[in-house]
Chain A
Amino acid sequence: MSLAEPQSLAFLPSHAEAIRQQVREFLKEHLISMPADQRARSWMGFDSVFSQAMARRGWVGLTLPKIYGGAGLDPFCRFVLVEELLAQGAPVSAHWIADRQSGPLIYKFGTEKQKAFYLPKICAAEAFFCIGMSEPQAGSDLSSVRTRAVRHDNGWKLNGQKLWTTNAQHSHYMIALVRTSGTADDRQQGLSQFIIDLRSPGVRVRSIEDLTGDAHFNEVFFDDVLLDEDTLIGTEGDGWHQVTAELAFERSGPERIYSSMVLLDTWLDWLRKQARANSGVTDSQACLAGRIVIELASLRAMSIATTSRLAAGESPVIEAALMKDLGTQLEQDIPAWIADALAADDTVVADDELLRTLSYVTQIAPSYSLRGGTREILRSMIARGLGLR
């Protein structure tokens, strides 16, 4: 079917809606004392105690089978869980990557032994993961990675460096894309994925402070790190194909529309308070609120359509890219628009929590269209899907 044709509209089934109230009650209890500017960090907010409390409810590794400690639920249930977590700004960072990428990757490509070892730990929020993709010379051009594993005794010896690795300083494991044969000129050929225990000798992690004063990015150095045979995940030389599948998990779902929701709700509450104290809202404030919510509702419907394709066992890579590009645009527009609206009348004083939330989101927003593939990379994928090359 041509990509110009409408996607089939999909609905959230009632069994998925049924978990929403439970999640809301859980979040009410856990987020009660957290200010908006903390909640705005959401998937940058690291809190292992929170993640373990979620795990006790069965909400980490939700879609993994029960035999591995998962809940055996479908992508629709995950959609509801995730949209509640992100819209309210729950600090999900600790288990986030393992839940959405590493767990599904291990389940799809891992050996039975690997699945039995890692998946229950992921579902218990006892194993946190980071993803080693980018390097100093391999950003959007991921296939030019130079970190290399060579055969050594009954395993591998790893040397090289990863960069921009989110959460490496807190994680137990990294799933890294490295070269196992050929050179950087061989591009997608000769790449493999390994699960690296970050406590191994020869691994060094250095945090990189970001412009908001937080640290989530890291540099990770590998100096003669010995890996046993069991650390290879999937097929040797098939790393590129596996990473592509992994990024499809990363790009679909409601993750890519809700990053600025805490800011939006904080602003809406402030507007309502202002309206009660003064004389209602201005037309331009109402227009902006409407504009945002119209975009949000459209994106959410697109996201549910994509989720239903995932639930049907398809891999809607292009549709996910399309939704992500549009979604991150809205996430980035929200702080820009709200800043303009707040200062449109310079006699109005906004409250501190709103201003702190706005500044945080404004400053970190550029990363929304970087993580998991830049805007330009996504649009190139869409162009290919549209038949343009």
Chain B
Amino acid sequence: MDSLLNESANKLLANLCTVESVRGVELTGEASSMWSSIVESGFTDAWIDEAAGGAGLSWHDTFGLLLASGRYALPLPLGASMYVRYLLAQLGFPTMDGCATFSTQANQTENGCVSAHAVPFGRVADWVGMNLDGKAWLLPTAHAKCEGPVIHGSLQSRLRWTSWPTAAIPLGEAKPWREIGAVLWAAMMAGAMTTVLERTLSFANDRAQFGKSIGKFQAIQQQLSQMAEHVHAVQIAAEVAFTGGPPTAGEPLAALAKGRASAAVCLIAATAHGVHGAIGVTAEYPLHLWTRRLHEWRMDFGSESHWQRLMGQTLLNQRDSSALDFVLERLSPISEPILKPHFGHKN
């Protein structure tokens, strides 16, 4: 983690993502000025080489930035946009206007119509990266229809293009959107969980019942300790995945990060709400800005079962590998050399 970047990212996002501004974006689906502020910061080009005008940072350097985007419930797909801008720079294309998200549930029908289901950040994204017939594409959302499922407060949407958008940008061979998304989302989830833990701890110390703060009761302490354990496990699993650089298709590190993060969501969200009591499920109290996201992000790019199954199959296909061998070879933090995102993924 790059500590300078980390510090300035936290400062910027704390200012930009107030509870009011996040709610505003959720209500209106309008986030262009917020996105402009982020682009001005230069974070969006963190992975692009310095020679090409970027910051030339490694994937691991930016872990704290993605963590912060979840911590402040940034209502925009920062990590996904960074990856798409990186791909465009690699191809020598000019960068796009606006922000981009991914879809792993897109398909094209014969008349050129494209449907992408449950697109995370679909209501605010200007572009969507996807694979169609073995090729990667970036489709503009300008003429796409947001078709629901219309979930209160959610930025997710089904998108439908009734004809092929002429501004679509070809990105070459199919990209491992699911694995990239899994790793980025795991960092966002770790950030959101950090906030949920902090808020719940402070609530437990402030709220008094039976003449003392509820955080003094052993029953509450045991639950919060367990919650903290899971938050730590998710934080570290996500960071381990970032040391591996951008994941390729089937990468076990992506399964580690997203599998661990998704598995912790229910316990963490339920404990936070349980400790908060009734106030926690009100619209006014902002706990739901994070817990709603956590439940949604848990499912984006595959829930824990998806990644557990993939991981288990990979492990069981290694004929003579002990569990420790597998962890050492495939699931350990990679210290050297510092990996940069590279183009041309092995599939």
Residues of A within 8 A of B (CB): 2-12, 83-84, 87-88, 258, 261, 264-265, 268, 271-272, 275, 281, 283, 285-302, 304-305, 319, 322-323, 325-326, 376, 378-380, 382-383, 386-389
Contact = CB atoms under 8 A, between A and B. Distances in A.
B215 A297 contact: no
Interface residues of B, number: 58
A286 B233 contact: no
A69 B344 CA distance: 53
A302 B232 contact: yes
B308 A265 contact: no
Contacts of B312: 281, 285-291, 293
A290 B243 contact: no
Interface string B1-31: 1000000000000000000000000000000
A290 B324 contact: no
B323 A261 contact: yes
Most buried by A among B260, B307, B312, B326: B312
A301 B333 contact: yes
Contacts, number: 188
Contacts of B239: 6, 9, 301
Interface stretch (B50-58, B102-110, B314-322): B314-322
B22 to A, nearest CB: 20
B231 A4 contact: yes
Nearest to B233: A298
28 contacts: A4-B194, A4-B201, A4-B228, A6-B232, A7-B232, A87-B324, A265-B322, A271-B316, A275-B316, A281-B312, A285-B312, A286-B312, A287-B312, A290-B309, A290-B310, A290-B315, A295-B260, A298-B256, A298-B260, A300-B327, A302-B236, A322-B229, A326-B229, A382-B228, A382-B229, A383-B225, A386-B224, A388-B215
A258 B326 CA distance: 14
Interface string B250-265: 0000011001100100
Given A9-B243, A388-B201, A293 B221 contact: no
Contact of A290 (B215, B216, B259): B259
Nearest to B221: A383
B84 interface: no
B236 A293 contact: no
Residue among B190, B243, B311 having the largest count of chain A Cβ atoms under 10 Å: B311
B230 to A, nearest CB: 8
Interface string B292-320: 00000000000011011111111110010
Contacts of A383: 215, 221-222, 224-225
B32 interface: no
A305 B222 contact: no
B229 A286 contact: no
B324 A286 contact: no
A348 B118 CA distance: 40
Contact of A386 (B1, B225, B310, B313): B225
A272 B326 CA distance: 15
B205 to A, nearest CB: 7
Contacts of B259: 290-291, 294
A293 B324 CA distance: 9
Q: Is the interface of B mostly helix, strand, loop or mixed?
A: helix
A104 to B, nearest CB: 25
A2 B331 CA distance: 27
A305 B236 CA distance: 9
A325 B226 contact: yes
Given A292-B323, A300-B332, A268 B308 contact: no
A10 B233 CA distance: 14
A389 B217 CA distance: 9
A281 B313 CA distance: 8
B40 to A, nearest CB: 27
A84 B325 CA distance: 10
A299 B232 CA distance: 10
B215 A389 contact: yes
Contacts of B309: 283, 286-287, 290
The interface centre, meaning the residue of A258, A293, A325 with most chain B CB atoms within 10 A of its CB, is A293
Given A2-B198, A87-B324, A386-B201, A293 B311 contact: yes
B192 interface: no
Nearest to A334: B323
B74 interface: no
Contacts of A265: 322-323
Contacts of A4: 194, 197-198, 201, 228, 231
A286 B306 CA distance: 10
B33 interface: no
Given A3-B228, A9-B243, 18 more contacts: A6-B232, A272-B316, A289-B312, A290-B309, A290-B312, A291-B311, A294-B255, A294-B307, A298-B260, A300-B327, A301-B332, A302-B232, A319-B232, A378-B225, A380-B218, A382-B225, A386-B228, A388-B220
B204 interface: yes
A272 B222 CA distance: 39
A300 to B, nearest CB: 6
A209 to B, nearest CB: 31
A293 B263 CA distance: 13
A55 B314 CA distance: 38
Nearest to A326: B229
